[in-house]
Chain A
Amino acid sequence: MSNHTLPERLAAVPVHAGRKPDARRRWKGLLPYAFIVPPALYLLVFMFWPLGRQIYLSLTRTRLATPNRSTFIGLGNYERLFDNPDFYTTLKITLIYSVLAVVIGVAVGMVAALALNRPFPGRTLVRGILLFGWAVPNVAAALVWLWIFNERSGILNTVVTGLGLERVSWLTSTEMALPSILLVTVWQVAPFVMLVMLAALQSVPEEVKEAALVDGADRLSVFKAVTLPHVLPTLQLVSLLVMVWSIRRFDIIYLLTGGGPIGSTSTLIVKLRQVAFENHDLGLASAYGVVGLVLAMSVAAIHALYNRRRQT
């Protein structure tokens, strides 16, 4: 970025040392590896080896008690998975949860960003308060939301009964549990969307907006014609990030409902834990996880492909 501000002669200096003539001596070609090998090796041991092992587990029959003793059974676990109506419920819940988290979270975050885009007294304070949901650790968030949702004494039901309505089982009924989890998710995700979109909105060229307004365009059409196209790539990026995070989200769902009641908030990743630690079936659990991983990776891949197309 700052390259633009440098004098031109600096722009001619090659950024990559590998191209420099003093890299002639042979061992110098190995220099990059001295830097990249330790972190790469680290990730190999603590990320990709376990990941590969988990994918392998999905092709085996393995019990939790003996995770190092497994029998290879090919695609058996996936056959069991695709024959199981439970799997389709879990997949459906994962998709509903992730898509709604994106739609609502991005909408709320975008509205907040638009509301905060123009200065007003107290804007910094308001922005700080709006960020709470993003900054609070999952466990602390779960504790306070459990109390807010508490069926007998929680503030939500105090308000609901105060309005003369029936108490709501926010987290313990199959109809309300997923919407309640979504509410907490939006509370956590929308602030991040707001921050990113606020940065994007601030970079919209002010002159173009003003010129359009002077020419008699109303604010809505200026938004549609100038602002929206300018921030659209960022909006797409942030939507994809929220989607991937929703697919892999575990803590807040597990702590609020544990996937219940009767599996109504059980996403693939929550189900993975349940099958592994309650049914002790590591093979099938891994198969659930692999489906989740493939789902998240396809979203990331769509993003990467889209990005490449935009750049060329």
Chain B
Amino acid sequence: MRRFSKVTTRLLRGLLVLALVVFGGFPIYWMAVTALSLNSELYSTGQVPWPQLSNLPAMVADLAGLPLIRWLVNTGIIAVGTTVLSLVLGALAGYALSRFRFHGKGVIGFLMFMTQVVPEALILVPLYAMFITFGLLNSLLGLVLANVGFSLPVTAFIIKSAIDAVPYEIEESAIVDNCPRISVLTMIILPTIAPSLAAAAVISFFAGWNEYLFAATFLMDTSLWPASVGLASFIGQYETPLSAVMSAALIFSIPAIAFFLLIQNKIVAGITAGAVKG
């Protein structure tokens, strides 16, 4: 009897895992299958439910008609800019929050946590008005500045919890030797928390990579469009072959998927650290 129930449990568990895999993986599978389909199949004869590698040349030819490279270059610039600025400011904030006591520390920590509650759409119009005034509208720099407002606090919390775990003795002798604090941070602390810095970098990189609303609002010039805005422009538009759209979406997604899988646990630790320690 007990043996029987053990077999059933295993079977049920297997079916459950299978259902979850189908639910979780199907959209990406379908993206790939659609990318490798002909438009005639998609809209009239019916979609073939497995990838047809024979359509690869046709897909590449369709893809060549899209300004995908330029979009990805713009996306890359935005993502790198967001990462660099978030890391520099986040390291300063993380170090201060971890190693010092000062007036307003609690308030600053609380406000940084609160940024994660603010919807992007809520500061869209004031930022827009501000960017008009300072000539930052229609510029990738303006976009980076807007993105960092959201990624900086996350980066700061990750770096803070990493520094919390570094014993104070490591920097003590350098401080006694009157080494400037900024060098203590850059030469001693940051190298010891390199894995957390990498995680923070990946999080801010893909925050910039994926960002849509600010980019769609602040960039009018199509030559400045990142891939998120370019791809979204295909919604409700039927001139571009769907297979090309899907292959572009896939190319846009693959780096994000790869890096998220690579540092999944670090990302989770980072996001929850902000929520717990704020």
- Cβ contact within 8 Å between B24 and A133: yes
- Cβ contact within 8 Å between A303 and B25: no
Of residues 131 to 180 in A, which have CB atoms within 8 Å of B's CB atoms? 131-148, 152-153, 155, 158
Of residues 230 to 248 in B, which have CB atoms within 8 Å of A's CB atoms? 231-232, 234-235, 242, 245-246
How many A-B pairs have beta carbons closer than 8 Å: the answer is 288
- Cβ contact within 8 Å between B17 and A143: no
Residue of B nearest to A292 (CB): B119
Name the contact of A67 in the complex, choosing from B129, B181, B206 (C-beta under 8 A). Answer: B129
- Cβ contact within 8 Å between A250 and B252: no
- Cβ contact within 8 Å between B20 and A112: yes
Name the contact of B24 in the complex, choosing from A18, A19, A49, A132 (C-beta under 8 A). Answer: A132
Q: How far is the CB of A193 from chain B (nearest CB, A)?
A: 10
- Cβ contact within 8 Å between A138 and B210: yes
- Cβ contact within 8 Å between B99 and A17: yes
Q: How far is the CB of A61 from chain B (nearest CB, A)?
A: 14
Q: How far is the CB of A198 from chain B (nearest CB, A)?
A: 9
For A43, the chain B residues whose CB sits under 8 A away are 111-112, 115, 149, 152-153
Residue of B nearest to A307 (CB): B276
- Cβ contact within 8 Å between B261 and A131: yes
Q: How far is the CB of A304 from chain B (nearest CB, A)?
A: 8
Name the contact of B167 in the complex, choosing from A3, A67, A297 (C-beta under 8 A). Answer: A3
For B246, the chain A residues whose CB sits under 8 A away are 143-144, 147
- Cβ contact within 8 Å between B47 and A158: yes
- Cβ contact within 8 Å between A144 and B34: yes
Name the contact of B117 in the complex, choosing from A191, A196, A300 (C-beta under 8 A). Answer: A300
Contact with A along B104-131 (1 / 0, CB 8 A): 0100100111111111111111111110
- Cβ contact within 8 Å between A49 and B126: yes
- How many chain-B residues does the 8 Å CB contact rule pick out? 103
Please name 19 further chain A to chain B contacts, defined as beta carbons within 8 Å, in addition to the given A32-B101, A115-B13, A248-B119, sorted by A numbering.
A47-B115, A53-B129, A54-B125, A67-B126, A115-B20, A129-B24, A131-B261, A132-B24, A135-B253, A138-B212, A140-B249, A148-B27, A153-B47, A187-B24, A196-B272, A237-B272, A250-B121, A251-B213, A255-B232
B residues contacting A by CB (< 8 A) are 13, 16-17, 20-21, 23-25, 27-28, 30-31, 34, 42-43, 46-47, 49, 89-90, 92-93, 95-102, 105, 108, 111-130, 133, 145-146, 148-150, 152-153, 156, 164-165, 167-169, 172, 175-176, 181-182, 185, 206, 209-210, 212-213, 227-228, 231-232, 234-235, 242, 245-246, 249-250, 252-253, 256-257, 260-261, 264-265, 268-269, 271-272, 275-276, 278
The 7 residue pairs across chains A and B that have the minimum distance between CB atoms: A135-B260, A32-B100, A50-B126, A35-B96, A248-B119, A50-B123, A39-B93
